Amino acid sequence: MDMLEIITRKKLGMELTGEEIRYFVEGAAKRSIPDYQLAALLMAIRLNGMTDRETVSLTLAMRDSGDVADLSSIPGLKVDKHSTGGVGDTTTLVLAPLAAACGATVAKMSGRGLGHTGGTLDKMESIPGMRIDLSEEDFIRQVKEIGVAVVGQTASLAPADKTLYALRDVTATVDSLPLIVSSIMSKKLASGVDGIVLDVKTGSGAILPTAEQSIELAEAMVRVGTLAGKPTAAIVSGMSQPLGTHVGNALEVKEAIDLLSGRTEGDLLDVSLTLGGYLLLLAGKAETAEEGKEKMRQALISGKGLQKLKEMIRAQGGDPAVCDDVSLLPQAPVIREITCGRSGYVSAMNTSELGWAAQGMGAGRKELDDVIDPSVGFVLKVRIGDRTEKDTPLCTLYARTAEDAERAEERIRAAVEWSSKPCGRAKLYYALVTADGVRRLEDPE
């Protein structure tokens, strides 16, 4: 089979056969096909799309490109949660320990930053000593002992995705529905869990910016999960502004700790509790998602969630003392307070640009081998709908140099819009997607 012919066929918008898909997926896994040819095919897929049949074939081929984890030795139903990516989206570090504290078995495999979005693994590695590269044996042992582990996928698990995921990050092909579906679901299906909860983002900071596109993505992933015999549910949630207030790896870990400690709350906590409710439902630890959400809240209030985070950090070689003293996290040398400089109402944010501002400071990657600075980023002090004056704080910058801070300030200012008239708050929930269909959601008053 010829890779050039496969690229040409997809370039012309033709449907690839299952054999052709398996061929290039196997080549990606074994690194027998050059990156430049894989990159060309990714762009052809991004421009011309894939049929449902192609998407399912791609997902299953990627799942079968390596080992499929056997978690059968772990008692009970194993569950996992995945986000399609956003800015200030630290839900995993909040909901995973809370769900485990409620008795769920959370066997989670996470990814690194992709494009303007942050990655859970990058955030976790900002904790001194924290390991994310556990063997399958250690992963299973940890889940058995404390009910939760968050790790990176091993080289033998969906290895084709590891190659394609990294290439998507540097070829502007992140926002392709079939590539998103196959990347996420191949890993989830290969991870051996019994139930999957998906957080599909929509808005200016999401991979797919419109609600209808995001609902379509959620439907496709739920359909693939269901066909594979894994109960799957998806919440379509808003990313028209950063979900949390902290953007940057160590800063986001700090915010997760603040939330679990009860020192703060907000949209990040609300979405974490909502997703956790469905996680407990699929884990058999709640009769309804609403009951599950309330159990999560009680685990937060009691402090059991924070205690479980400490257990997870300790089990993975990290220093759990960061949960009591967040100053032990990496600290940036340059800290700068920025004011709004204008009065009015915050009416919109270009959340992708805010993510790129953090990436430009060193919080993300421009090239595959870039080294992340875990200390840099910013804390945003305003939300859409807020009334501001000229001296109202806009954000606090954490940078390596004064020049980095100046560039970030310029980019952040350009990403925030004001209106002279009052405007509503950003919408947080759009839809619930299950095997039974789509239910549109309204934010609670």
Residue 82 bears catalytic tag:
yes
CA–CA dist 295, 291 (Å, integer)? 6
First to last CA, the chain: 58
Instruction: Report which of 225, 159, 164 is spatially closest to residue 198, judged by C-alpha positions.
Output: 225
- Out of 168, 246, 254, 411, which one is annotated catalytic? 168
Residue 246 bears catalytic tag:
no
Instruction: Report which of 135, 164, 151, 187 is spatially closest to residue 29, judged by C-alpha positions.
Output: 164
- Out of 22, 63, 82, 116, which one is annotated catalytic? 82
Residue 133 bears catalytic tag:
no
- Out of 57, 183, 214, 375, which one is annotated catalytic? 183
CA–CA dist 101, 181 (Å, integer)? 30
- Out of 10, 187, 201, 295, which one is annotated catalytic? 187
Residues identified as active-site: 82, 161, 168, 183, 187
